[in-house]
């Protein structure tokens, strides 16, 4: 009888605890995050956005039902994220889930809203079939809205949702000017950068004239890959803008090359490099090479045939050496193409910070170098290390009020397309430029969120011993845990069996 009462009390206690936990879970949100990059912990930027909402936000999530496991997990993760957002916003964010495939009207509604229809593979009776699916969302604030056409798993989920809300909630956006008129690439070639910048800023093209105040309305001015010479009057305006406390982002091509025709390097002279030198910043007239680099496709003659081969090209360094600075902290891989090294010999009272450096095995080549695509590179070609490729300078620059300046030794790193260059920009290249604009504009809130999460950690970059250890750990650990559990159960049963054999044992 006592045993029966104990069971009843235990069941009632467990039920009560579950009810209490369910009640508390609706009032408070808690998640234990043991991941290295804290991917399940909301960033401070997200918390700040949600806690400062002045208008209600409605999130309409269009998710198909009965999706394969990996897509259904995305739905669950997104719903959990929305629960947390709603809690932190104090109820200012509300959400609903709609199955677009419930009927033709809801499907039409999702498509018209801008949610992308996908064809995803699913298994049915041992056959792989394509299944129509929607995994997107529409975020609304007042009469304005932002669309996430496709929601994917990972840390990008938080970034897309938070930046969409931020974009809707920011009303008075600072002006950022992109300088034109000196052979700079068009903004169309920097669409990925532009998309990120327009979350916080209003971006405009600016062309210098005889006016001495043409730049004053811009909080930050970006000068990207100029190819033509700057008139002295333009240099003077840029200098005066900096003296008055203006912020400058300069991505400068000091050297360049055309791999499609005559594979020779050449210098690029615009006059901007001379002005930077007067500030103590030397963008050197050289090509930086690095043993850690990205491959390029080249056509080679093999007998009567022309074949395309992938070769390592040290002139396109793959950079993983970043300073712990708001601009560069969190970046993982930046790809430069024909980059030059940077030195500083200016006023020591200013704060000069190398943001990005080469690896331990790097070197330089003169600007007039010939590109031998069949060259066999050796360790002797990389005698240098930790060459600065991008840097920040802050303080009273050139007798100005306190201001900031960022210089990168590759003008085209945020540009997509062009001869011999990649069409799709490396994500961290975009982050490098946008982070720089944020830092220059004194708005670093989204930097941590933008670079949150590990996106690339290739095993082939690990040491052989560590890679071997991880390999065997991954294989043996589950087996070891099962063996330990089996030993524990065996000993527990043996102990219980001995107790039962003892005189006077009562269960």
Pairing of strands 403-408, 202-207: unpaired
Rounded Cα distance between 370 and 95, Å, is 60
What's the confidence (pLDDT) of residue 454?
A: 46
Which parts of the chain register pLDDT below 50? 33-34, 418-422, 454, 459
Q: Hunting for tokens 């999702």 — which residue is that?
A: 110
Query: What are the distances in angstroms from CA 329 to CA 63, 319, 333, 386, 438?
Result: 35, 13, 11, 17, 13
Q: Write down the pLDDT at residue 126.
A: 64
Q: What pLDDT was estimated at residue 33?
A: 47
**In sequence order, what are the beta bridge partners of 264?**
370
Nearest 5°: CA angle at 406, between 402 and 411?
Answer: 155
End-to-end CA distance of the chain: 14
Instruction: Tell whether domain 175-287+320-457 is in CATH 1.10.1660.10.
Output: no
The percentage of residues in the chain with a pLDDT greater than 90, rounded to a whole number, is 50
> Which H/E stretch holds residue 161?
helix 156-169
Rounded Cα distance, 32 and 35, in Å: 9
Give residue for tokens 């730049």: 215
369-393: pLDDT as tens digits? 888 888 889 999 999 999 999 999 9
Residue 406 burial class via C-beta count within 10 angstroms: exposed 0-12, middle 13-18, buried 19 and up: buried
Write out the H or E segment, with its range, that includes residue 434. helix 427-440
pLDDT score, position 125: 64
DSSP 346: S
Give the per-residue pLDDT at 420: 42
pLDDT for res 312: 87
58: three-class secondary structure by DSSP? strand
Fold of 37-169: Glutaredoxin (3.40.30)
Give the model confidence (pLDDT) of 466-505 as tens digits.
Answer: 556 666 666 677 777 787 877 877 887 777 777 666 666 5
Tokens of 405: 């300046």
Per the CB < 8 A criterion, the answer to whether 141 and 55 are in contact is yes
Question: DSSP readout, 404-429?
Answer: EEEEES-TTTT---STTS-SSPPHHH
The DSSP bridge partners found for residue 179 are: 206
| pLDDT for the residue 182 | 94
Q: Check if the beta carbon of residue 167 is closer than 8 Å to that of residue 146.
A: yes
């Amino acid at each position: 009888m006592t045993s029966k009462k104990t069971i009843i009390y235990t069941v009632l206690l467990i039920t009560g605890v579950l009810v209490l936990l369910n009640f508390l879970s609706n009032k408070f949100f808690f998640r234990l995050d043991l991941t290295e990059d804290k991917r399940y912990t909301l960033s401070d930027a997200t918390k700040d956005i949600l806690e400062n909402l002045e208008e209600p936000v409605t999130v309409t999530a269009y998710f198909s039902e009965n999706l394969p496991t990996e897509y259904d997990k995305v739905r669950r993760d997104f719903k959990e994220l929305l629960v947390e957002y709603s809690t932190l916003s104090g109820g200012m964010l509300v959400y609903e889930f709609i199955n677009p495939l419930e009927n033709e009207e809801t499907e039409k509604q999702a498509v018209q809203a801008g949610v992308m229809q996908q064809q995803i593979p699913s298994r049915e009776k041992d056959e792989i079939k394509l299944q129509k699916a929607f995994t997107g969302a529409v975020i609304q604030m007042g009469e304005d809205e932002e669309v996430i056409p496709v929601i994917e798993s990972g840390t990008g989920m938080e970034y897309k949702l938070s930046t969409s809300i931020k974009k809707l909630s920011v009303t008075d956006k600072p002006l950022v000017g992109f300088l034109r008129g000196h052979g700079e690439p068009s903004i169309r070639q920097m669409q990925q950068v532009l998309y990120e910048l327009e979350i916080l800023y209003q971006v405009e093209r600016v062309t210098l004239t005889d006016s001495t105040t043409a730049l004053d309305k811009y909080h930050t001015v970006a000068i990207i890959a100029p190819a033509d010479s700057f008139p002295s009057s333009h240099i003077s305006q840029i200098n005066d803008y900096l003296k008055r406390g203006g912020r400058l982002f300069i991505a400068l091509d000091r050297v360049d090359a055309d791999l499609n025709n005559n594979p020779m390097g050449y210098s690029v002279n615009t006059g901007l490099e001379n002005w930077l030198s007067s500030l103590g910043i030397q963008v050197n007239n050289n090509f930086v090479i690095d043993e850690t680099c990205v491959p390029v496709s080249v056509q080679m003659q093999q007998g009567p045939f022309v074949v395309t081969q992938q070769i390592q090209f040290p002139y396109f360094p793959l950079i993983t050496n970043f300073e712990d600075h708001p601009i560069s902290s969190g970046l993982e891989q930046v790809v430069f193409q024909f980059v030059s090294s940077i030195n500083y010999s200016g006023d020591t009272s200013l704060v000069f910070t190398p943001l990005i450096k080469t690896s331990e095995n790097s070197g330089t080549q003169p600007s007039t170098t010939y590109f031998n695509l069949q060259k066999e590179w050796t360790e002797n070609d990389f005698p240098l290390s930790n060459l600065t490729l991008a840097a920040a300078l802050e303080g009273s620059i050139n007798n100005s009020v306190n201001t900031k300046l960022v210089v990168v030794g590759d003008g085209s790193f945020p540009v997509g397309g062009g001869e011999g260059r990649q069409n799709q920009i490396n994500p961290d290249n975009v982050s490098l430029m946008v982070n720089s604009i944020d830092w220059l504009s004194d708005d670093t809130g989204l930097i941590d969120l933008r670079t949150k999460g590990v996106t690339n950690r290739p095993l082939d970059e690990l040491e052989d011993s560590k890679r071997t250890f991880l390999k065997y750990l991954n294989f043996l650990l589950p087996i070891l845990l099962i063996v330990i559990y089996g030993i524990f159960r065996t000993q527990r049963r043996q102990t219980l069996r001995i107790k039962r054999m003892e005189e006077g044992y009562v269960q």
